[in-house]
Structure 1
Amino acid sequence: MTQTKNQHDYFGQLDGIRAIAVGLVLIDHWLAERNTLPLGSLGVAMFFVLSGFLIIRILMLGKEKDDAIGRSHWFTVKQFIVRRTIRIFPIYYLALFLLFIFDVPNIRATIGWSLLYSTNFYIAIYHKWIGVIDHLWSLAVEEQFYLFFPYLILFLPKKYFTKLFVGMIALSLGLRLLLFFLHADWTAQYVLMPTCLDSFGLGGVLAYLFTYKRDTIFKQLDKNSYLFLSLALYIGYIVALKMDVHHGFTYVVLDRLFGSIFSFFLILRAVSGFGGVMKFCLENPVTTYIGRISYGLYLYHNFVYNFYHTNFPTHPTVRILHKLQQFAPTITHRFAFELLVYATLTVLVATLSWFLVEKPVNNLKKYFNY
């Protein structure tokens, strides 16, 4: 049975999932060589599955409403594009503008790629990262996904949805396998949008089950046992990864798949609503707030890190912070103090961004409701 009566379900614990995902990415980037676990790739996979679930569910509900009132699907396409533009573009292009004005290294040389949301193509073609804007590759992947996927959901008959999502997962895994056996540079398997489709496909499966099979298959999967099993599989993958060569088969082919499967069951349980300790972890005010500003945290964190750590060691702010380190307890060591600085400054910048730019602009979305 199609379940569209609760079109405005509010998934309160998903802000907590966003907080976990962005936290994994930030820790991975800031710990650099000190960390040997693929925390950042897990965080990105979690974001991709979550985006797949939320975006595809929005499109499914838009399709249902179009059909119910006899409205053209092109109306929903326009609504989707406008709302995504309002949410994503303002601070993305504001950040690029400021980086360009201040001539931050690598920005001007690659500005065209950044403006067109194609930094992932740059990385895959030239087999090198771009420094301060390395992390924009995942935003490029999401934007490229948004460019074509609404048409598949809105204009494809519903009976083909499950085949579509399974096909996305198989295509993504197959492409990573092919590129691996062709000895392509590992960056291609990691950053290209088609090689990320298994994450979005699993998000689509979750959206389909929640929207159309909530009282049957979704309910059957909504158990902690499946979540623990997926976590065990991911831990098993980590063990195998430690036994593999650097950027070998286990990482470039299997990493995103196992991370996405775990993310699928974690998000599924959060959609239904965890109880107990997990409920507190995902719904407490601090976690909820971090999740709310997670886009800004993700966008700005590399800029803050590079400003403090690399590019501007003579800046007065950085000199003051270095001076303060002498007062940090010996047990925390200098790097622990730096982590606190990175986190504090990043949250501060993301907070200013949220209240001064994102929230006011996001309020415009009320004029484009489905």
Structure 2
Amino acid sequence: MQYIKQLDSLRAIAVLFVIFHHWKPVPHVNRFSLGAMGVYIFFVISGFLISSILLFAKKDHETNHTSKKTILKSFYLRRVLRIFPLYYFAITLGYILQNHINLYVDFEKLLPYLATFTTNYYFLFNETWGGLFSHFWSLAVEEQFYLIWPWILVYCHKKYLPVVIIIFIFIGIGHQYLSNYEIEQVGISTLSCFDALGLGSLLAFYYVYNPPTLIKFQKVFAPLGIIILVLFLMKYLFLYGVIFIPNLPLGTSMAIMTTALINHFIVHHENKNFKEAFFFKNKILIWIGKLSYGLYVYHYFIPEIFGPIIFGQNTQTFKNQNFSLNHSLQFVTYLLITLFISFISYRFLEQRFLKLKNLFKY
């Protein structure tokens, strides 16, 4: 499929949201749930890209009679090459470092769930988090999604796919409304994320099978995204309860706004007069976006590993500080270290496996 560079910029924004949330959890930043916002941006992007790849393969099957089993085999092998090396390297790193740094979790107890991509349900059912591995829940959600979604896209007749995708979207929205919000981990169930993954998939369906429809979508998604953004800001700027504001789940809100943005990118990404080009075609953001997987995986470990060496303090001390020049200096230092490590990881670990993806068509 065609490379859309703005998606890398969007990935960069998403991962920076997550990093900022985990490293700077002061009250007025947490109020906006930047970490959750970043993750839901990732989910929509993932739903769009994965579904686009599979649907283009399905289209190839319809014209060239490519085997469906070949499509699925290639898809899963390519996913393994992209996700597994860094993921299991990070787990191995945790195993090696568990006696040298504080992982803030019983690593031996968590390990089976890490190894099987089921940490989200471990956190949910135990109403706890996983220390420096807490953010791995979103990787678990995506892998669980990959277990069922490719089969549906490849084997379901294309005329039924929009309905099936819309059902998945409403399952995600409904699950969020019906969930027990007294549990902090409520939003990390895979079902709760179906709306974001589904919206990305719905966009992918029309991107592959009926691109002109996206221009019509623009007329709907653009104003809808703006309306939800305004309502979202009103809600989190202390106006909720003062005036009536519809209580749309955070995940759904972010998913709709992200879908609107991606649809805008698809329609206008080749336009030389693209108004947001100065930002979403920014080379630094695109570069950060390419490193986003590594940045996401490594960032939680950095203050715990390097904090005692450079600043004489651990993660908890760093996170519990208020805004200050000293904290800002630490934040920038950790960010630069994370960028460097993620670049080295991408260059010498991830790319070695990414090159192997070329052996498989889909």
Same fold (TM over 0.5): yes
- Which structure features the higher share of helix residues? 1
Query: 8 Å contact 1:15–1:288 — kept in the other structure?
Result: yes
Query: 8 Å contact 1:14–1:271 — kept in the other structure?
Result: no
Separation of aligned partners in 2, 1:184 and 1:60: 39
Greater mean deviation of Cα atoms: 37-46 or 136-145: 37-46
Corresponding residue of 2:289: 291
Q: Deviations over 1:190-235 (max 9, x none)?
A: 10111100001100111012112212x2112336x84354133123
Corresponding residue of 1:29: 22
Separation of aligned partners in 2, 1:130 and 1:332: 28
Corresponding residue of 1:16: 9
**Identity in percent:** 29
For the residue of structure 2 that corresponds to 1:37, the secondary structure is coil
- Residues 105-144 of structure 1 mapped to structure 2, 5 A cutoff: 105=103, 106=105, 107-144=107-144
Corresponding residue of 1:99: 94
Residue 184 of structure 1 deviates from its aligned partner by 6.0
Residue 56 of structure 1 deviates from its aligned partner by 0.5
Q: Could you list the runs of 5+ residues in structure 1 that have no partner in the other structure?
A: 1-7, 322-330
Query: 8 Å contact 1:13–1:273 — kept in the other structure?
Result: no
**TM-score normalized by structure 1?**
0.86
Residue 31 of structure 1 deviates from its aligned partner by 1.2
Separation of aligned partners in 2, 1:289 and 1:283: 10
- Residues 213-362 of structure 1 mapped to structure 2, 5 A cutoff: 213-215=210-212, 217-222=213-218, 226-227=221-222, 229-241=224-236, 242=238, 254-274=249-269, 275-276=273-274, 278-309=276-307, 313=308, 315=309, 317-319=310-312, 333-362=325-354
- Residues 132-171 of structure 1 mapped to structure 2, 5 A cutoff: 132-171=132-171
**TM-score normalized by structure 2?**
0.88
Corresponding residue of 2:320: none
Q: Could you list the runs of 5+ residues in structure 2 that have no partner in the other structure?
A: 315-322
Residue 24 of structure 1 deviates from its aligned partner by 1.3
- Residues 54-93 of structure 1 mapped to structure 2, 5 A cutoff: 54-93=49-88
Query: 8 Å contact 2:20–2:34 — kept in the other structure?
Result: yes
Query: 8 Å contact 2:221–2:259 — kept in the other structure?
Result: no
With over 3 angstroms needed to count, the CA separation of the structure-2 counterparts of 1:126 and 1:173, relative to structure 1, is same
Of 166, 186, 189, 1:192 maps to: 189
Residue 33 of structure 1 deviates from its aligned partner by 2.2
Indicate the RMSD between aligned Cα atoms, in angstroms: 2.3
Greater mean deviation of Cα atoms: 351-360 or 26-35: 26-35
For the residue of structure 2 that corresponds to 1:20, the secondary structure is helix
Query: 8 Å contact 1:120–1:140 — kept in the other structure?
Result: yes
Corresponding residue of 1:325: none
Query: 8 Å contact 1:13–1:271 — kept in the other structure?
Result: no
* Residue identity opposite 2:359 in structure 1: Y
Separation of aligned partners in 2, 1:74 and 1:167: 25
With over 3 angstroms needed to count, the CA separation of the structure-2 counterparts of 1:291 and 1:273, relative to structure 1, is farther
Separation of aligned partners in 1, 2:303 and 2:234: 30
* Residue identity opposite 1:145 in structure 2: F
* Residue identity opposite 1:10 in structure 2: Y
Separation of aligned partners in 2, 1:277 and 1:295: 28
Residue 70 of structure 1 deviates from its aligned partner by 2.1
Residue 131 of structure 1 deviates from its aligned partner by 1.0
